[in-house]
A and B are shown apart, each in its own frame.
Chain A
């Protein structure tokens, strides 16, 4: 009898322990359940975009930034833009890069001002395991995960070919380029020259560092003073193209000189209409910005991306500027 009584006690103790464990488990689960209701763990990716310049008068870069912001909104990314106010300020851009690295974003998108002089600082992005995407321009070291931009050489070539068709032995062509060792400047220049083919001999001048509207204006004026036979001017970016056009207009030489170039704004459109500018390669800036952020997002989420993406461009002339496609490219909404 005594033995069975003891067994009873033990049995009843075990029973109570098991009940206790059950209740404990239930309480834990209930807590987890109710606390999870508030949990909305959506971690936003963080991307920093460092363009060549942040200038609201430069519609090209403004469009790129718009495209980037559009994509950031779509993919729910936290996007920060930081960039120098002039397109030749390598030091400032480098400083911004270092600042950006400190902030430890998931990715950095950058349009490096210099093709050759920024390798060290750009490499330090990679050292911190931050995803690196180049937009519009790159450097002479292939360390980025992805490059989005216009096929500058090809477009330059297209423009060169187009111009070359109307070149004759009287032609004297000047190229007005921007930052000397800028990737885009060089590619486009080489493209244009290539597009000229044999007519390359008619290219007589190359002006560099027309990095702002004002500088381009001045340099063009100086150029024309120096060589009044120039009758074709090719600008390689927005500053140089518009600056040159302004100068030509200012000097009243628009009937004698044809201007071609890259990128457009309202002023440029007017010049197109008024035959001051005769043809522009308009890049799909919005797309460039959009694709930059989109591919950064993909990289962050370990989705494969292509190494190089051509964001596209179109040669716009007066005759086609009001076509549907051209309209949408030229005129912001």
Chain B
């Protein structure tokens, strides 16, 4: 399980995923913050704005009602200023006066349809109601009513406003009204001489309140100082306690608005108290209407966030891809350069500047590696060459002594011809060995060198050695590295013929076969045992006349010409040994 997690985590480490994840996180955080602020701010702003709006509306209602009431008060004042009215109040009964009064009232009521009823009561409790033509309700005893009693209690010059009630003064008609009353006092005696009542149609107020739109469910209501409801659209329900309404709390607040959630709905209350009437107009609106379908809005925001997130993921992915692809491409071409294809490596021009310069730098590095490799090869070669040179310029001191002694002996016995031959052969030998610093010689030169050696050896070991050299002219100009043939011949002498009792013969044959040069050295000596033959190239230090053993010859041949070439040895005990040298045919061009 842990391993799987690791696997997945390591996969996620790729550029694509890293960029994608970081980018998405940034976008997600940004979107969330934005969303939260938007929703919060939107809601707050909406509520603020609506509340302010409601305050204005409620103020408007209150002012309108005040307007009506003021109007009525002015009308009342008009009546009170009228001499006939005053005459009436003092208890004077005069039909003409009363008629005039009734006319005035009639015209007042015609031009002020909000006025339902005007009642004048004089000190004798005689009264005039409206234009006097209506049949009064005999059973109306308004002197018992609360509003009448309130009016009596009022101060002079003070208009008293009742709360809403039913006016039953007129027979058969029961209307809800608001009554404005004023006590009339004799300025001299300070006695009450009369009261004037004016009833304002309740409709006026309820219409005003219902006209105001506070959203679909919002409403306006009015309460007075005594917390009685003047108007409420749900009065009946409040009365029977089916619903409840905040009254006290609203009147108490100092802020312009109150937030309430008591019946499960979030509501905002705004209020405005009129200075004239001491009535407070209150507006209620339902918060959810401001934030209509808040859930829907929220869902929309979420959808938007999803769209944005997906888009950002897509962009992040494409973006990351654009960066990581050139890198992947670079990685792949680097992998392909496995030593062999340096030349084929083309720096790419796809990707960002950094990637392109990286690619170019890589190419430069490869070139440098190539150069270094070449240099190493060259140095190795040179090292070999100098090694070989060193090897090839050796001459065995023993051979030298023995040959010189042979010469001395020959001179002592006056064998001058042989002495001359031996000296000249030796000289030629020297010349080739020491004087020639080339690695390569021609076949004819190598043959001559070997021949000189053999001449000397034949002279030394009279009747023991004979030799034949048969080399095709064709290969005389072929090239061969120095010091191949003679050591093999030397081997044949000292390992093959030395232990032979009779005269030994060494045959050297040379010919061309296709593109190869073949040299055969054959002796009829004692041969080489199978065991020894197997490991013959592994024996290192065979001290020959110049320390060059078979192993050395084989190595040099293979190093120079390749694995295909070299020497092969065939041998039969007591019959003889043949060494076959194979090298490629190349023209000798003066030495390299």
Contact = CB atoms under 8 A, between A and B. Distances in A.
A291 B236 CA distance: 12
Given A22-B314, A286-B236, A331 B306 contact: no
Given A33-B304, A266-B172, A322 B236 contact: no
B303 A36 contact: yes
Interface in B312-335: 313-314, 317-318, 321, 332
A270 interface: yes
Contact of B296 (A29, A36, A273, A333): A36
Interface in B118-136: none
A266 B172 CA distance: 8
Nearest to B238: A328
B314 A23 contact: yes
B176 A333 contact: yes
A40 B321 CA distance: 42
Contacts of A29: 303, 306-307, 310
A18 B318 CA distance: 10
B174 A287 contact: no
Interface in A8-57: 15, 18-19, 22-23, 25-26, 29-30, 32-33, 36-37, 39-40
B240 A287 contact: yes
Contacts of B242: 287, 290-291
Interface residues of A, number: 42
Q: Please report whether the interface of chain A is mostly helix, strand, loop or mixed according to DSSP.
A: helix
A322 B311 contact: no
A273 B172 CA distance: 10
B145 interface: yes
Contacts of A67: 236
A328 B202 CA distance: 13
Contact of A322 (B168, B176, B317, B332): B168
A208 B240 CA distance: 32
B138 to A, nearest CB: 8
A107 B293 CA distance: 26
Contact of A328 (B235, B307, B336): B235
A33 B303 contact: yes
A270 B172 contact: yes
* Contact size range, B: 35 or more
A331 B311 contact: no
A319 B299 CA distance: 61
B303 A328 contact: no
A328 B239 contact: yes
Contacts of B202: 333
Interface in A250-296: 266, 269-270, 273-274, 284, 286-287, 290-291
B440 to A, nearest CB: 42
Nearest to A26: B310
Interface in A282-333: 284, 286-287, 290-291, 311-312, 322, 324-325, 327-331, 333
B239 to A, nearest CB: 5
Contacts of A311: 240
A176 to B, nearest CB: 24
10 nearest A-B pairs in the assembled complex, by CB-CB distance: A273-B139, A22-B314, A33-B303, A286-B236, A29-B307, A331-B166, A327-B166, A26-B310, A287-B240, A331-B174
23 contacts: A18-B317, A22-B310, A33-B300, A33-B303, A33-B304, A36-B296, A36-B299, A36-B303, A40-B293, A40-B296, A67-B236, A266-B172, A266-B174, A273-B168, A284-B240, A286-B237, A311-B240, A322-B166, A322-B168, A328-B236, A328-B239, A333-B176, A333-B206
